[in-house]
Amino acid sequence: MSLNRPSTLQCVAGIVAATSAVAVLYTKYQAAPATKDGIPLPPGPPACWFWENAFPVSNMAHTLENWVAKYGPVMSLRQGSQVIVVIGRIDAAIEIMEKEGGTLVDRPRSIAFGEIMSGGMRMLMVPSGERFRRLRKAIHTHLQPKAAEAYQDIQSDAAKEAILDILNNPKDHARHVQRFTASVILRVTYGKSTPTSNDDPEIVRLEEDLRHLRAVSRPGTFLVDRIPLLQYVPGYGRVLREYHEFELSLFRDQLGRVADDMSRNEAGPSFGRTLLENIHKHRLSGDEMAYLCGSLFSAGADSTAVGITTLVLAAACHPEAQARVQEEIDAVVGKDRAPTFEDWSQLPQLHAFISEGLRWRPVSPIGFAHRATKDIIWRGQCIPAGATVFGSHWPISRDPVAFPDPEKFDPQRWLDPSGQLRPDVRFFTYGFGRRACPGLHVANRSIYISLALLLWSFRIAEPPDAPIDVNGFTDAVSSRALPFEVEFVPRMKEQKLMEIMEVGM
Ligand code: HEM
């Protein structure tokens, strides 16, 4: 009755199929909702297969907000054996992302972007450890508030140039803002002899590098991040290695120019110059310094431009809030000079407007991935060691306790009854704990001076025939496709505005 007896081949195939099914099921469910000590993971939707994306691919910010509303302030997603935790409310963010900062200083492994394309040297992607500590110390020393003050004149001059550009060609407002933030970052990083025109070969190389970066940093693009053995397959990742060589040679050239300026005694103040002057103190190799400088452009130019353009659009959508800031600026500054950094402490309405705008439509809606290096127990739930943890800006910005009526654009929520900024209201525009943005003092100054000058110079309005789509705004921020049409109505004679902007440039 050999007729029904399976052949050896069939037996093997059966065993393989059964083992695979068990393996696949195991992969899907092994991160069971309880950890080894029986403490449950934070709640969340059912696990997905390891090749599927646990994160929603479209409408991400709103999906995360709905999940946080459904599952709670700390929720988890499971992708195969990987646990991803999303923190979506302020109190939980303070208790976990800030107070457990030492456990969350690491980043999840990123082979394609972090290791191959960035050669393990891009600060944003560097895992915790000795190299991270050296980079962090160097960057914080030279971008802390006192050091950032040294760049204020650069920021003020570049912002006035942007006002003149907007006066000449208001349609391209978002592009003028991008040019402003790019020129600030390049001058802060490399000093005065920085190229300014769009067809300069260095700018062309930078643009190309950014294109590589956008393609590679999109999560899930490279299989090697799920199957690490692929990196050892001959020929695999050739494009990534070429991208690495491309940007390393660009970054070396840029810092080399600063060294040349220094040798001729012609170098103005810059981040690159202070690094080169302190080589022994920071113990960074030549390439680590080149990468630390070079990657400031991708970290800081686009993010600051998105922040400023978001605030321009917020002003257009909320004329009363804008008028209140202008009333304050007029009272402090008057009409015969432009606002300066000296006015900083006298403009709480402006600071409140900025804080509210960056909460209302966060620059980084999802947040950046951290990695837990130990179990974190939070209110009876366990964030296990190895989990990827996002302090997620969009759901946090919708925290109804911290920000009652969160959809409302209300700068007054940041002020106390005497009109001063409230120290107890917080949002995490610049991220969390020891990975918080080291460029925040430079960014805050760029945002302050550009907004002060813009609102002093113009009334910004929605065009009557093309209202701004406030809901489409969030996706536009995420995809950086921001330009909406707005009108810039000069608040004084154009000739006078031009004269005042040209003073001191
Ligand atoms: C409005 C403008 C900006 C925003 C909203 C912003 C936001 C952020 C956020 C959310 C992070 C990740 C924090 C985390 O992991 O928790 C970050 C990291 C970083 N930012 Fe910014 N940033 C801005 C401007 C800048 C500027 C101007 C620079 C440079 C001068 C800069 C340099 C960096 C660097 C190097 C990191 C990596 C830090 C690390 O991984 O340890 N950023 N930024």
Is residue 32's pLDDT more than 50? no
| pLDDT at 409 (0 to 100) | 96
Distance CA 289, CA 284 (A): 6
pLDDT over 70 at 300, yes or no: yes
- 148 by Cβ neighbours in 10 Å (0-12 / 13-18 / 19+) ranks as buried
Beta bridge partners of 79: 48, 82
- Atom 13 in ligand 1: residue holding the nearest Cα: 431
pLDDT at residue 479 above 50? yes
What's the CA gap between 272 and 405, in Å, rounded? 45
CB distance 134 to 283 below 8 Å = yes
124 C-beta closer than 6 A to ligand 1: yes
Is the distance from the beta carbon of residue 299 to the nearest atom of ligand 1 less than 6 Å?
yes
437 is in an annotated binding site: yes
CA of 153 to the centre of ligand 1 (A): 22
Model ipTM value:
0.99
Cα–Cα distance between 260 and 247 in angstroms, integer? 20
Rounded Cα–Cα distance for residues 496 and 473 (Å): 34
Q: Are 327 and 285 in contact (CB under 8 A)?
A: no
What is the full DSSP assignment across 111-137?
IIIIIIISTT--GGGPPSSHHHHHHHH
What single letter denotes the amino acid at residue 60?
A: M
Distance between CA 217 and CA 215 in Å, rounded? 6
Q: What is the mean pLDDT of residues 314-343?
A: 97
Residue 376, H or E segment: strand 376-378
Parallel/antiparallel/unpaired status of strands 458-461 and 388-391: unpaired
Distance 438 CA to ligand 1 centre (A): 6
Confidence of residue 219 (pLDDT cuts 50, 70, 90): confident
- How much distance in Å is there from the Cα of 374 to the middle of ligand 1? 25
Query: Helix crossing, 173-190 with 152-168: angle to 10°?
Result: 160
Residue 396 beta carbon below 6 angstroms from any ligand 1 atom: no
Q: What is the mean pLDDT of residues 464-471?
A: 77
Closest alpha carbon to 432 in 101, 126, 106: 101
Across 494-500, average pLDDT: 93
Q: Alpha-carbon distance 414 to 394, whole Å?
A: 18
Q: How far apart are CA 300 and CA 315, in angstroms?
A: 23
| 342 contacts: CB under 8 Å, gap ≥ 6 | none
Q: How far is the CA of 377 from the centre of ligand 1 (A)?
A: 28
* Mean pLDDT calculated for residue range 395-399: 97
Domains of the chain, CATH where assigned: 37-502 (1.10.630.10)
The count of other CB atoms within 10 Å of the CB of residue 55 is: 18
Evaluate: CB of 437 within 6 angstroms of ligand 1: yes
**Token pair of 41 as six digits:** 């993971």
41: burial class by Cβ within 10 Å (0-12, 13-18, 19+)?
Answer: buried
Check pLDDT > 70 for residue 212.
yes
Q: Whose CA is nearest to atom 32 of ligand 1?
A: 439
Which residue, judged by its Cα, is nearest atom 43 of ligand 1?
Answer: 437
Task: Give the pLDDT of residue 81.
Answer: 82
CB of 305 closer than 6 angstroms to any ligand 1 atom: no
The predicted model gives 319-326 an average pLDDT of 98
Residue having the nearest C-alpha atom to atom 2 of ligand 1? 304
Beta-strand pair 376-378/381-383: antiparallel
Among residues 364, 246, 242, which one has the least CA distance to residue 299?
364
CB-ligand 1 contact for 368 (6 Å cutoff): yes
Name the residue with tokens 């002057």.
277
Q: Compute the distance from residue 299 Cα to the ligand 1 centre, in Å.
A: 6
CA of 436 to the centre of ligand 1 (A): 7
Measured in Å, residue 440 CA sits from the centre of ligand 1 at 7
Structure confidence at residue 498 (pLDDT): 94
Atom of ligand 1 nearest to the CA of 370: 15
Nearest-atom index, ligand 1, CA of 97: 16
Rounded Cα distance, 371 and 387, in Å: 6
Q: Is the CB of 344 under 6 A from ligand 1?
A: no
Give ∠ CA 293-298-299 in degrees, rounded to 5.
Answer: 80
CB 182 within 8 A of CB 154: no
Q: Whole-angstrom Cα distance, residue 423 to residue 141?
A: 25
* Cβ atoms 363, 307 nearer than 8 A: yes
The predicted pLDDT at position 12 comes to 46
Residue 358 has pLDDT above 60, yes or no: yes
Q: What does each C-alpha distance from 176 to 306, 364, 457, 491 come to in angstroms?
A: 12, 21, 15, 19
pLDDT(315) > 60 = yes
Span 400-438, pLDDT tens digits: 999 999 999 999 999 999 999 999 999 999 999 999 999
Residue 60 has what pLDDT? 85
Question: Ligand 1 pocket: which of 98, 303, 361 to mutate (most atoms <8 Å of CB)?
Answer: 303
From 32-46, 102-116, 143-157, 206-220, the region with the lowest mean pLDDT:
32-46
The rounded Å distance from CA 50 to ligand 1 centre is 30
Query: Which tokens in the block code for residue 209?
Result: 């590098």
The reported pLDDT for the residue numbered 2 is 42
Which residue owns the Cα nearest ligand 1 atom 17? 437
Cβ burial of 264 (10 Å; 0-12, 13-18, 19+) is exposed
Alpha helix segments (H runs only) across 86-226: 90-92, 130-143, 145-149, 152-168, 173-190, 201-217
More reliable by pLDDT, 238 or 475: 238
Distance from the alpha carbon of residue 235 to the mean position of ligand 1, in angstroms: 34
User: Looking at ligand 1, which residue's alpha carbon is closest to its atom 26?
Assistant: 300
Does residue 147 line the site of ligand 1, with CB under 6 A?
Answer: no
Percent of the chain with pLDDT over 90: 73
Q: Give the atom of ligand 1 at the shortest distance from the alpha carbon of 184.
A: 27
Helix, strand, coil percentages in the chain from 3-state DSSP, rounded to 5: 55, 10, 35
Buried b (16+ CB within 10 A) or exposed e, 213-237: beebbeeeebebbeeeeebeeeebb
- The amino acid occupying position 388 is T
